[in-house]
Amino acid sequence: MPEPELEFRSDQQIAADFLSYLQSEFEDPVAYEVEPTRLTGGFDARLYRYKLVGQEPSVLRILRPAREAEELSHHQFVHQMLNQQGLKTPVIHRVCGDKSVLGGVFAVMDLVPGQPLIEQTPELHAKVLGESMATMHELDVRPIIESFRRAGVSDELFLSPGIDQRSLDFCEQKIPWASDLIGWLRDHLPLDGQDLAVIHGDYHGNNLMFENGSVSGVLDWAFRISDPASDLANTMNDYLVFVRQIDPTTSSHFWEQIVDGALKAYQAIRPLNHMRIKAFRVFHLLGALTVGAAAIGPEFMRKPESQREYLALIEQTTGLTLSPSA
């Protein structure tokens, strides 16, 4: 039995393998009019735009090899439900849970019109990012939770207060050196479920499509119902930590300006306590530290210099001194 793949295949290999898959699925001849072109290179998924001869343009979404097929069926249901709530989310038409085809489970969905928000001016980027996230977090989650439960979906799959609590329990058992940090997180993380919102989980300018002055679609959901501070914290880590590690050519000041502008735009609509955001930033950085150390996260997270940076940021925020090698 072959070893499971740890990283995405090359873009060229994915294009060739996907065409072979399509040719095996359809009786009529299948050919590209436009070969798959990368739209984003997210941490947990890759999105490609492509067009078959005689068909409308579509998007191929491939999950990281470590992700499982059940997530795709879950995403299909989530996308349908979010569209019903007025969020512009692409319709998923086909899913494949066989990782041997493209190296990871994948889905085929509608192409959302527009250009990535990251291609707009920094000022517009920041304003739209903050305002659209705050508006999303204002949605009433009660009908969404009811829809999940009526469909027989367990709370454990989408309600993050319980998921976050189990993550802390796991870290406490498996990471002895983090006991003081776990204690700090238990004191500062809001795990009571009092403030719940629709959470994207990777809300940044590459996952927002922009057209005619507004957001035309939201891509690459890691959907949860959770504290809105968790979403903001993820976005801040994306811009201030992870994006810089992936793209060191762009100045840190550039990303800091976008985050500052986005926070101001967000807080003008939906004020949030800054300590809650800080606590979730630490929580997500601990996640990056642990998945990187376990060699199951993206390649850039596994680099020693990245791991040292996550640890330093955690210590700087919490005032703790941690010793992972102990």
pLDDT in tens, the chain (326 residues): 344 455 789 999 999 999 999 999 998 999 999 999 998 656 678 889 999 999 999 999 998 887 777 777 778 888 888 888 888 999 999 999 999 999 999 999 999 999 999 999 999 999 999 999 999 999 999 999 998 899 888 888 788 877 888 888 888 887 888 999 999 999 999 888 889 999 999 999 989 999 999 999 998 888 899 999 999 999 999 999 998 887 888 899 999 999 999 999 999 999 999 999 999 999 999 988 887 666 666 778 888 899 999 999 999 999 999 988 65
For 75, the 3-state DSSP assignment is helix
Residue 119's contacts (CB-CB under 8 Å, 6 or more residues apart) are 205, 210
Indicate the burial class of 4 (C-beta count within 10 angstroms; 0-12, 13-18, 19 or more).
Answer: exposed
Q: Do the beta carbons of residue 280 and residue 226 sit within 8 Å?
A: no
- Domain ranges in the chain are 11-110, 115-318
Q: Do the beta carbons of residue 107 and residue 96 sit within 8 Å?
A: yes
> How many CB atoms within 10 Å of residue 69?
16
For 64, the 3-state DSSP assignment is coil
Given this model, what pLDDT does residue 173 score?
82
Phi, psi of 107 (to 5 degrees): -140, 155
Segments in the chain forming alpha helices (H): 11-25, 70-84, 99-102, 122-137, 142-150, 160-174, 179-188, 228-237, 243-246, 252-269, 274-293, 299-302, 304-318
As a 3-state breakdown, the chain gives helix, strand, coil percent values, each rounded to 5, of: 50, 15, 30
Whole-angstrom distance, CA of residue 245 vs CA of residue 150: 42
Q: Do the beta carbons of residue 137 and residue 228 sit within 8 Å?
A: yes
Residue 112's contacts (CB-CB under 8 Å, 6 or more residues apart) are 59, 88, 90, 209, 216, 217, 219
Whole-angstrom distance, CA of residue 39 vs CA of residue 50: 10
Q: What's the fold here for domain 115-318?
A: Aminoglycoside 3'-phosphotransferase; Chain: A, domain 2 (3.90.1200)
Give the bridge partners for 195, in sequence order: none
The CATH H-level superfamily of 11-110 is Phosphorylase Kinase; domain 1 (3.30.200.20)
- Do 11-110 and 115-318 come out as alike in CATH topology? no
